[in-house]
């Protein structure tokens, strides 16, 4: 796999001290009369090792926050910095590379690929990056152990419970040692006990690995594990 020199440059410029920083970010979806302000002048700073929870009802703009913070969507205005790199200034290709190397996603739905074992799910990001080597394999085993899935390493998603899938997704997100970890509704498919366990694991990994973690959820019962909690209403963060 060939990598443009600019990617190496971006990687070299990265310093972990930056964490995640959103400055005055506004995102308007649609145009004209149907325009919706999904994010309204949002500012948010998350330091490395810090676990921030954002709660709010459906449609409050939580997912838009993740989309913009994770480089999936360009904001209408404002800037996003990740580990010292201005994400909003990168080209589409550079943003894709930045997602791969510096951002870990834990998605709510379709988090895992049906045909891959847990171990292969973890190796996938490094294969995409052309860096699949013995170090990567060792790291995968280490992470699988950290999320307590060692006995499930050879299982495919359909053989796993909801909680195990969530943990496998978390382990995969951590594979590339991302500066930023973005978690979308981690507990939507889990019962109370499992939800608490899952969030505790995210908090634990955040502190241990020094990621700047943002979790969005509508489940107010799981906020205790977070270092800071924000509420999101109509695209405004408070």
Provide the binding-site residues for another protein, judged by CB under 8 A. Answer: 1, 38, 58-59, 61-64, 66-67, 70, 72-73, 93, 96-101, 103, 105, 107-111, 113-116, 120, 123-125, 127-129, 132, 156, 184-185
Min dist. Cβ of residue 116 to another protein (A): 6
Please return the burial class of 180, using the count of CB atoms within 10 Å of its CB with bins 0-12, 13-18 and 19+.
buried
Min dist. Cβ of residue 61 to another protein (A): 7
Do residues 69 and 53 make contact, with C-beta atoms less than 8 angstroms apart? no
Min dist. Cβ of residue 95 to another protein (A): 9
Nearer of residues 185 and 193 to another protein, judged by Cβ: 185
Min dist. Cβ of residue 125 to another protein (A): 6
Nearer of residues 177 and 224 to another protein, judged by Cβ: 177
What single DSSP character describes residue 113? -
Nearer of residues 43 and 57 to another protein, judged by Cβ: 57
Residue 69 CB neighbours (<10 A)? 28
CA distances from 133 to 121, 126, 129 (A): 15, 8, 11
């Amino acid at each position: 796999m060939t990598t443009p020199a600019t990617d190496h440059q971006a990687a070299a410029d990265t310093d972990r001290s930056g964490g995640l920083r959103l400055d005055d970010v506004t995102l308007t979806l649609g145009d004209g009369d149907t325009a919706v302000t999904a994010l309204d002048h949002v500012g948010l700073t998350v330091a490395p090792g810090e676990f921030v929870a954002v709660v709010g009802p459906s449609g409050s703009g939580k997912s838009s926050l993740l989309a913009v913070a994770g480089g999936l969507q360009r904001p209408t205005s404002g800037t996003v910095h990740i580990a010292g790199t201005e994400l909003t200034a990168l080209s589409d290709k550079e943003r894709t590379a930045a997602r791969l190397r510096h951002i870990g996603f834990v998605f709510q739905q379709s988090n895992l690929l049906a045909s891959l074992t847990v171990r292969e799910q973890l190796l996938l990001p490094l294969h995409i990056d052309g860096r699949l080597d013995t170090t990567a394999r060792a790291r995968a085993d280490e992470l699988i152990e950290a999320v307590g899935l060692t006995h499930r390493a050879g299982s495919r998603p359909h053989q796993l419970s909801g909680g195990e899938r969530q943990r496998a997704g978390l382990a995969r997100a951590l594979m590339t040692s991302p500066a930023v970890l973005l978690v979308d509704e981690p507990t939507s498919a889990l019962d109370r006990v499992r939800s608490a366990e899952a969030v505790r694991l995210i908090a634990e990994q955040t502190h241990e690995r020094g990621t700047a973690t943002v979790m969005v959820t509508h489940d107010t019962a799981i906020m205790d594990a977070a270092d800071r909690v924000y509420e999101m209403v109509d695209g405004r963060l408070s």
